[in-house]
């Protein structure tokens, strides 16, 4: 499937009671995730997949009843650090598709995420905790 010359791997709309009757559209390209909102005043946003840091899925009882869920995406993008794909159909498979595409793009671009956990040797706080063995 193609949209504006961009090969799309997935697309859907935000759903109400399981039906796609909103003006919020989501789509996944080979290297970007798109979100289009609005009818009169449209807003187009995108996240480069290599910037995605975390993906999670949340489903309330009502979402389970209507067969939808919300995929939460956290990225290092300056303008869109968090994107929520609200009430999308088949949300578990959508999350897995996004995850696999993110990994493919990171490998292709040779992007590696490193996490730095800084542990302070001495306790400078007023909590009363002292290091054992000093």
pLDDT for the residue numbered 17: 87
| Cβ 53 vs Cβ 74: under 8 Å | yes
pLDDT for the residue numbered 19: 87
Nearest residue to 10 via CA among 74, 70, 93:
93
In order of start, what are the domains of the chain with their CATH numbers?
Answer: 2-109 (2.30.29.30)
Backbone φ and ψ of 65, nearest 5°: -60, -40
pLDDT for the residue numbered 12: 93
Burial environment of residue 51 by CB neighbours within 10 A (0 to 12, 13 to 18, 19 or more): buried
Grouped pLDDT means (10 residues each) for the chain, 134 residues:
78 90 93 94 94 96 95 93 95 96 91 67 59 53
Burial environment of residue 8 by CB neighbours within 10 A (0 to 12, 13 to 18, 19 or more): middle
């Amino acid at each position: 499937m193609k949209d504006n010359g961009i090969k799309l791997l997935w697309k859907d709309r935000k759903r109400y009671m399981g039906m796609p009757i909103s003006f919020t559209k989501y789509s996944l390209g080979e290297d970007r995730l798109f979100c289009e909102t609005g009818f009169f005043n449209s807003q187009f946003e995108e996240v480069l997949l290599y910037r995605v840091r975390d993906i999670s899925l949340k489903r309330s009882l009502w979402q389970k009843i209507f067969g939808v869920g919300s995929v939460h995406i956290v990225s290092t993008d300056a303008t869109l650090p968090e994107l929520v794909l609200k009430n999308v159909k088949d949300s578990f498979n959508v999350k897995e598709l996004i995850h696999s595409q993110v990994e493919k793009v990171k490998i292709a671009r040779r992007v590696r995420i490193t996490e730095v956990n800084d542990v302070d040797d001495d306790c400078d706080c007023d909590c009363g905790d002292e290091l054992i063995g000093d």
